[in-house]
Amino acid sequence: MTLEHLRAHLRKNVNKGRLHLPKAAPNAFSFRQVQVGSVILKPIVSDEQKSRARDYMKKTFYTHAMIPKALRLTQLNENVIDQEIDFGFEAKMGLEFRHEGTNEFLGCNLNMVWHLEPNELECNIDPVDWFNVAGEIANEEPDDAKAFAIFRDFQYQLMFHVFKQEARKRGKKFMFYFATIFKENHEATKGILDIVGQAHFDQRPEDVLITALGTYPGYITSPFPSTMTPLAEIPYANLTFQRRGKRIFDRFKGNAYLVCKS
């Protein structure tokens, strides 16, 4: 796809206040309460659990995760954050983590699952080109909050495109996006990924593709285990999105990775 065609496609799909999140598929498969080592994984179902998860995510994930932090979502776009969290609740695929002995709340994990819908773009796309064109379009918006919301939405659209293509190649009906919420600590994040993988991913139905995005700066190779297949590698140094003369990802090192479970 040429850059001109890519610009035309993205301009047709600019965020107008709502993220382009596809309809959730909460019945694709379900989590159950399980224990892995000293950690108990409980499905998030009650209003109390949802309220705790929302507050926790805003205080940890959205203030520490690299792309939300760079886009200043907590300062400028709480509405975007709430849309993302609500979509996770709609999918009914959230988990909270508690310590077996103390019942201490260790964190939570909200995920997204959606049907494989027709893809408007069937061609392969360079993810760096996508992000850079998305940045050009977002930067035309004079309001910072709206500009960053546009870019965040284009990030989701890229993920959906890449994951849909892979799901279609593998004959899958659903895509599951694993979105880790962590305790300010990268090692804890990796531990949660391992725990959820042990507890649930190996028992998923065959028609579900497990996907994830790793954005932690400093990666020069994929941080995911060998059971995860890299689908796209995005060097931060090649991303040109800037705001008021400053490149948004200039201080990031390494690469972001889109992956799926083999």
CATH of the domain at 17: 3.40.630.30
User: pLDDT tens across 94-146, in order?
Assistant: 888 888 889 988 888 888 888 887 666 667 789 999 999 999 999 999 999 99
pTM: 0.88
User: How many whole angstroms separate alpha carbon 66 and alpha carbon 255?
Assistant: 12
33, 40 contact by CB (below 8 A): yes
By DSSP bridging, strand 105-109 and strand 112-115 are unpaired
Helix (H, G, I), strand (E, B) or coil at 22: coil
Helix (H, G, I), strand (E, B) or coil at 70: helix
Most confident option among 196-205, 215-224, 244-253: 244-253
36, 198 contact by CB (below 8 A): yes
User: pLDDT tens across 71-96, in order?
Assistant: 999 999 999 999 999 988 888 888 88
Domain extent for 154: 3-261
Token digits of residue 234: 């995005």
Q: What is the CB-side half-sphere exposure of residue 208 using CA atoms within 13 A?
A: 19
Token digits of residue 23: 């309809």
Tokens 């773009």 found at:
121
User: pLDDT tens across 18-50, in order?
Assistant: 888 877 887 777 778 888 778 888 889 999 999
Once rounded to an integer, what is the mean pLDDT over residues 210-231?
75
Q: For the chain, what is the domain count?
A: 1
User: How many whole angstroms separate alpha carbon 142 and alpha carbon 102?
Assistant: 50
